[in-house]
Every structure is written in structure tokens, then in C-alpha cells.
């Protein structure tokens, strides 16, 4: 058996992975890890453990369903659940995925109140398995519930674990900075930066980077750490900053990286540097923007005008 690498991301699904707006995760039902990354070369036996936790006071009867997904066209980390597996390099791959409870293959399970259950995730990959990436989600849905379909809405309790599987050998890691921009002129901060990266590889990659801001004198005045994210094969993704990702999602129509500095004046230069986890190649791009506190200036001029007017009126009365 060739070397098998399994990487668990112990981070929340909303931050590092991909999520589906149509699937509502119950506050009383959890899954860990929420994302599983697997990189392997056939033949291989993929075996790993995960667990479900029922924090509620009621019994949960859960059905297990597996659905393929692809990145949504919004490029914001959302995923689109598919009705079939025709986009897989091997459409019959789904038959090799097994969920086991103490060695027994299961399609459903029951969780008692406050119960934590450990399950086994297994895939048998034969020597002739088709090379490529397989993206799918394991849904654990409370019964009774509506069948999962593309963009459907589930109101019952449930959780999902996304699986990113890359069957190698992998090709060359390729990509580039598709967009890096900021407003050309700003009155004041915070300053939003749009960062969109394209992955041209035949496999998913993890991207990590930062933005460094310099003033007119070349002094470093700010740094923005970007949120580490997964970018699926042959797709694009917008990347927010690591500190305010959830907050920014409410204030902007798409993910942005925020420089929180408020008082700004003069020209600035911002340099984006980014790399992929499995490549030594770095990508870099520099842009410029100009800040002038026009609002503050107008306020100061208005105040000076009022003071001048008052002084002139007083002098006129004295004369």
C-alpha cells in the first residue's frame, strides 16, 4: 500500500472550508471534524474516525446520506449540492464509501440524549481508481425529514461533514491572483481589499497569505493576515481577513479583507503575498490607493467659518 496522508482540519466549517446555506445545523447536534481532507495514491485503504454529539435532551434518529458538491458560482466558499455523482472522475466511487459503527456498515443510527458516538469512515481505493478530486458531504439528518436535494431547505436537526478527497498522483500545482483591488480614493478607514485567487490545479489546495501596507515613506503601517482557505480544483475563491471574516460578511456583499485603520492621509501601497500549501511558489501583487480625510477637513473648515463669522459680528458691534 502506498503512502496515505490524511489531514484533519480542527477548525470550524464556516472559516476554513465550504458550507451549504441550505443545510441548517442543529445547535444540539455536532460533528467533529466538520471537514476531512484526504490525499492518497491508489491502491489505498482510507480509514479514519469521527464522532457525533447529541447535546439535546431528546432522542435523535439519524439517516445518513451522501451528496456530491461543487463550489458555487459566488466564489465565496459556499457549495452547491448536486443530485448525482456524474461529475466525479469515477461516478461509481460513491459505492466505496462506508460508514461503520463498531465494524458494521450503517445507513442510520440513533443517538440518546447527551450521547457521543464514535464512527468509522472507510473508503477502499483500488489500483485502477480514476485520478482526480472527489468532493462530497456526509449528511446526518434527523428523521422524519425532507429528502436532501439541490438547494433544498432542511428544517430538521442535522449536521454535515465535508470531505475533500484527492486521488493522485497529483499534477502540478498552478494558480494565480485573479483580483486584488481596493478603492482608489478613500476618505477614511477601514479599507476593504478584494482578494480572489484562482486554482488551476487538478486538485484542491490550501491558500495562505497576507497584505502589507506601506505609507509614502516606505514605512510598514499595517498588515492583514488572510483567512487560510481551501480552493477546489479549477475554481476561484474570494478570501477575507482572518480576524473579521464573520463581521465582514454582514457588512459587505462578498468576502473582503479589512484594514481597520481609521485615520488615513496621503498615498499608500498595499502588497499581497500568497502561497499554496503544497508548493514553494509565491504569488505577489502591489496596488496603490490615496486617502484624504475630506469629511474631517469640511468639519474643520465649517468650524473655522462659524468662529470667523462670530468674531466679525462681535467686532462690528464693538465698532
pLDDT band at 296 (very low <50, low <70, confident <90, very high): low
Integer CA distances (angstroms), 176 to 16, 198, 201, 217, in order: 20, 6, 11, 29
Would you say residue 300 lies in a domain? no
CB-based contacts of 303, cutoff 8 Å, min separation 6 = none
Choice between 188 and 249, residue whose per-residue pLDDT is larger: 188
Q: Are both 61 and 163 inside the same structural domain?
A: yes
pLDDT at site 144: 63
pLDDT at site 224: 98
Quick one: cell of 204? 484542491
Would you say residue 302 lies in a domain? no
Q: Are both 161 and 258 inside the same structural domain?
A: no
Q: Of 167, 189, 204, at which residue does a domain stop?
A: 167
Confidence check: pLDDT of 12 > 80? no
CB-based contacts of 256, cutoff 8 Å, min separation 6 = 192, 193, 194, 195, 238, 240, 241, 248
- Radius of gyration, CA atoms only, the chain: 26
Quick one: cell of 104? 458494521
Integer CA distances (angstroms), 62 to 21, 35, 148, in order: 20, 19, 13
Contact (Cβ atoms closer than 8 angstroms) between residue 51 and residue 116: yes
pLDDT at site 298: 67
Q: Are both 74 and 222 inside the same structural domain?
A: no
**Structural domain range at position 117:** 4-167
Q: Give me the number of domains the chain comprises.
A: 2
Interval 191-225: pLDDT, tens: 999 999 999 999 999 999 999 999 999 999 999 99
Q: Are both 225 and 204 inside the same structural domain?
A: yes
Q: Are both 199 and 157 inside the same structural domain?
A: no
Q: Are both 22 and 107 inside the same structural domain?
A: yes
pLDDT band at 319 (very low <50, low <70, confident <90, very high): low
Ranges of H-type helices in 87-231: none
Q: Of 167, 194, 221, at which residue does a domain stop?
A: 167
Would you say residue 305 lies in a domain? no
Would you say residue 261 lies in a domain? yes
Question: Model's pTM, two decimal places?
Answer: 0.81
Q: Are both 15 and 163 inside the same structural domain?
A: yes
Q: Are both 23 and 153 inside the same structural domain?
A: yes
Q: Are both 111 and 204 inside the same structural domain?
A: no
Ramachandran quadrant class, 297 (left: phi over 0; alpha: psi -120 to 50; beta: rest): alpha
Would you say residue 303 lies in a domain? no
Q: What's the CATH number where 114 sits?
A: 2.60.40.10
Q: Are both 108 and 253 inside the same structural domain?
A: no
> How confident is the model over 256-276, as a mean pLDDT?
95
Q: Of 103, 137, 167, at which residue does a domain stop?
A: 167
Would you say residue 270 lies in a domain? yes
Q: Are both 257 and 279 inside the same structural domain?
A: yes
Would you say residue 58 lies in a domain? yes
Interval 23-65: pLDDT, tens: 445 568 999 999 999 999 999 999 999 999 999 998 999 999 9
Please, what is the average pLDDT of the chain?
86
Q: Are both 14 and 141 inside the same structural domain?
A: yes
Would you say residue 34 lies in a domain? yes
Amino acid at each position: 500500500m502506498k503512502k496515505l496522508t490524511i489531514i484533519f482540519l480542527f477548525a470550524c466549517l464556516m472559516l476554513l472550508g465550504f458550507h451549504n446555506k441550505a443545510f441548517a445545523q442543529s445547535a444540539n447536534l455536532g460533528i467533529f471534524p466538520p471537514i476531512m481532507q484526504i490525499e492518497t495514491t491508489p491502491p489505498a485503504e482510507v480509514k479514519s474516525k469521527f464522532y457525533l454529539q447529541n447535546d439535546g435532551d431528546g432522542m435523535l434518529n439519524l439517516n445518513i446520506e451522501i451528496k456530491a458538491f461543487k463550489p458555487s458560482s459566488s466564489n465565496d466558499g459556499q457549495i452547491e449540492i448536486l443530485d448525482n455523482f456524474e461529475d466525479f472522475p469515477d461516478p461509481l466511487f460513491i459505492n466505496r464509501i462506508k460508514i461503520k459503527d463498531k465494524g458494521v456498515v450503517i445507513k442510520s443510527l440513533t443517538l440518546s440524549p447527551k450521547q457521543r458516538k464514535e464512527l468509522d469512515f472507510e473508503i477502499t481505493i483500488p489500483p485502477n481508481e480514476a485520478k482526480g478530486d472527489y468532493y462530497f458531504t456526509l449528511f446526518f439528518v434527523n428523521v422524519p425529514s425532507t429528502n436532501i436535494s439541490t438547494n433544498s431547505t432542511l428544517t430538521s436537526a442535522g449536521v454535515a461533514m465535508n470531505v475533500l478527497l484527492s486521488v493522485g498522483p497529483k499534477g502540478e500545482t498552478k494558480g494565480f491572483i485573479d483580483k486584488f483591488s481596493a478603492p482608489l480614493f478613500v476618505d477614511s478607514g477601514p479599507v476593504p481589499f478584494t482578494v480572489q485567487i484562482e486554482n488551476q490545479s487538478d486538485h484542491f489546495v490550501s491558500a495562505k497569505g497576507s497584505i502589507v501596507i506601506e505609507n509614502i515613506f516606505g514605512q510598514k503601517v499595517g498588515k492583514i493576515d488572510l483567512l487560510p482557505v481551501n480552493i477546489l480544483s479549477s475554481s476561484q475563491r474570494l478570501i477575507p481577513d482572518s480576524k473579521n471574516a464573520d463581521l465582514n460578511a454582514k457588512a459587505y456583499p462578498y468576502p473582503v479583507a479589512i484594514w481597520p485603520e481609521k485615520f488615513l492621509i496621503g498615498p499608500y501601497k498595499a502588497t499581497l503575498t500568497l502561497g499554496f500549501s503544497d508548493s514553494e511558489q509565491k504569488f505577489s501583487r502591489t496596488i496603490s490607493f490615496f486617502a484624504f480625510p475630506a469629511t474631517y477637513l469640511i468639519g474643520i473648515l465649517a468650524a473655522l467659518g462659524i468662529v470667523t463669522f462670530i468674531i466679525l459680528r462681535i467686532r462690528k458691534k464693538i465698532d
